[in-house]
Amino acid sequence: TVASWEMYQMVYETLLTTDDELNLQAGLAESWEEESPTRFVFTLREGAAFSNGRAVDAQDVIGSIERIRNPEIASYWAHQLGEIESMEALDDRRVAIELARPHATFLPALAHITAAIIPLQEYQAGEFDPTSEMLGSGPFMVEAHDQDESWTLVRNPHYGRDGYPRADRMNVAIIPDESARMAALRDG
């Protein structure tokens, strides 16, 4: 749901993002080059790190995209990425992606939270399960979660963008009933 996506955007990052007019902007990738209609090279932001302190690297990007494309995961977002011919870590911060053919939605698909970059090492080691916990490189990290009640997010001390997040903590109440949400807003 859209509410879930908004929560994910507080904890995770994508290679690209969009501005208010839906123009592509830098995200985890501080820059990208379209070397041909099918070849793209992304350079990760210097200092990008997951909330556990480990630097985000090219293997995290490749593994996250491979996970989306994995038929066992059955991500509906795989189609949006198009047919990827190959992915290669050029070094720790640069990833080259070659498409089988031009695909108009490839770059915009990388800007959607469904294409969030997860910590591949921790995932492969069984130390992180994205179906039950959140470990990202976004501005916040999870401090507490009360099922069907609330989320408490705190500043990610490893977030690499100066001045962000602007708040140290965020409490998000889960209120599924619309009239109860309206009453909560009226009551402050």
Beta-carbon count within 10 A of 163 CB: 5
pLDDT tens-digit profile of 18-53? 999 999 999 999 999 999 999 999 999 999 999 999
For the residues 76-90, what does the mean pLDDT come to? 93
Print burial letters for 130-156: b (CB count within 10 Å at least 16), e (below 16). beeebbbbbbbbbeebeeeeebebbbb
Question: CB of 115 within 8 A of CB of 68?
Answer: yes
Global pTM reads 0.87
